[in-house]
Homo-oligomer: A and B are copies of this chain.
Amino acid sequence: MKRIDAQDKLARKLGVLIVGLNGAVSTTFVAGVMAIRKGVAEPVGSLAQMGRIDNGRSNGDGEPIREFVPLASLDNLVFGGWDIRDENCYESAISAGVLNKEDLRRVQTELEQIKPMRGVFDRNYVKNLAGSWTKNTQDKSLIVNKLRQDIRDFKARNKLEDVVVIWLASTEVHKPVLRIHERLEDFEKAIEGNHADISPCMLYAYAAIAENTPFINGAPNLGPDIPALIDYSRRKGVPIAGKDMKTGQTLLKTAIAPMLKARMLGLRGWYSINILGNGDGCVLDDPQSFKAKQESKLSVLDGILKPGQHSALYGNFHHKVCIDYYPPSGDNKESWDNIDIFGWLGYPMQIKIDFLCRDSILAAPIVLDLALFMDLARRCGLSGVQEWLSFYFKSPMGSSEHDLFAQLRNLNDALRSMKTIISSAEEESGSRLMSNEMRL
């Protein structure tokens, strides 16, 4: 079952294929890795690069994670992907306005070489965007074939064994899970039949799995989070993960809510607004896209506070989440939370939090971690939904755990398990080379 073999012993490259290659998060991620490679910046926010772990049960500060398990080296990442605009990564990064020009100029040459393949675009799933650089077909079978060919070409062109695919494109409109999403057979028939309820994200996910490539969904839309694709990923032995990366406001929420619960402080209401002015904000200005995001953001409190078991404290709170498109903010997303709590004898108190964050700056290291950890998981033979990565998601697939600190424990536990798997594999093969060389 385990697939840790000879080729791991050499300094392997890892391909990272991004859907939405020219978006703000994508270019911030790629440009950042370039800058870090050059030694002019640090991978702040990346647990895989800067975190530590120990063998105990605590979230301790022992060995660096990247020495604890054999992760791909930043020097060996190869970037590619799809987009619906035909720009190179440097142009996109400039227009995203996240990183300043001075920083981008240092990696201009590298970024200019990265250009997207034609993307899949379906108007029914994103209202507020238009695409020109798209696959010139709407036939979903054909699209799947093209995407699979894209993945194979990318591997061949770059001489890669290992690739991960990550969806960083715009949020698709909210859709329910339907009959056709249940069984793999029906799903494949629906693709054949060009069914309207098969979204672009599902097509990418299907193609990736078919190519034995881990798939990560960074947005709140369903994508691989349907029974048919979960089943397919298990059958193919491919790990999948998602959905909706937990960056600003929700990250805070999943730290504050456990605090309230730790101290048994009650909650009457939690009012959250977000103002953001980048492309993401523009897409979410469409009510249907917003709905997908909102549902994702609303679910976390119940998961942590468990109203059923704590009805006196959490049985009856109002939770509101609003997102407003406000161009002056640009990528500097800002969230404001008003939290109405109550303490001893029910007396009311309030916490108000203004988070002046930067969406892409928070998201980029998550993309890095997900790419590295999913690749590790695949090499350790893990398949299906990776619940242990719920730490990174607002709506973690396969898990109702939203408490950030519990999620971190789960992540650490999983890393320890994988270390054990790797050690056994090494012992079998009579060698300790793997983990060492991986670090090159």
Residues of A within 8 A of B (CB): 28, 32, 35-36, 41-47, 49-52, 57-59, 61, 99, 101-103, 251-252, 255-256, 258-259, 262-266, 268-269, 271, 273, 275, 306, 309-310, 312-313, 317-318, 320, 322, 324, 326-329, 334, 336, 338, 340, 342-347, 349-358, 360-362, 364-365, 391, 403-406, 408
Contact = CB atoms under 8 A, between A and B. Distances in A.
23 contacts: A28-B344, A42-B312, A44-B265, A44-B266, A44-B342, A47-B262, A49-B264, A50-B312, A59-B403, A61-B309, A251-B259, A255-B258, A258-B405, A262-B404, A269-B328, A271-B324, A271-B326, A320-B324, A343-B361, A344-B364, A345-B361, A347-B361, A352-B353
A45 B265 contact: yes
A385 B251 CA distance: 35
Contacts of A326: 269, 271, 318, 320
Nearest to A258: B405
B324 A408 contact: no
A45 B252 CA distance: 21
Nearest to A341: B357
Given A61-B306, A273-B273, A327 B322 contact: no
A322 B342 CA distance: 25
Contacts of A357: 349, 351
A35 B345 contact: yes
Q: Which 6 A-B pairs have the closest CB atoms?
A: A269-B328, A255-B259, A41-B345, A343-B361, A352-B354, A405-B405
B349 A338 contact: no
A47 B263 contact: yes
A128 B326 CA distance: 29
A329 B349 CA distance: 12
A322 B324 contact: yes
Contacts of A262: 47, 59, 255, 391, 404-405, 408
A194 to B, nearest CB: 36
A44 B361 CA distance: 31
Nearest to A352: B354
Contacts of A355: 349-352
Given A322-B324, A326-B271, A338-B334, A252 B344 contact: no
A334 B348 CA distance: 13
A344 B45 contact: yes
Contacts of A271: 275, 324, 326, 328
A206 to B, nearest CB: 31
A356 B364 contact: no
A264 B327 CA distance: 22
A274 to B, nearest CB: 11
Given A51-B264, A102-B101, A44 B343 contact: yes
Given A255-B255, A349-B361, A353-B353, 14 more contacts: A28-B344, A32-B345, A36-B345, A42-B345, A59-B262, A59-B403, A61-B306, A255-B258, A262-B408, A273-B273, A336-B336, A344-B361, A352-B353, A405-B405
Contact of A263 (B59, B102, B251): B251
Contacts of A265: 44-45
Contacts of A49: 264
A260 to B, nearest CB: 9
Nearest to A309: B61
Contacts of A36: 345
A58 B356 CA distance: 33
Contacts of A320: 324, 326
A51 B408 CA distance: 22
Contact of A358 (B42, B61, B343): B343
A328 B339 CA distance: 10
Contacts of A259: 251-252, 255, 404
Nearest to A326: B271
Given A354-B352, A358-B343, A264 B50 contact: yes
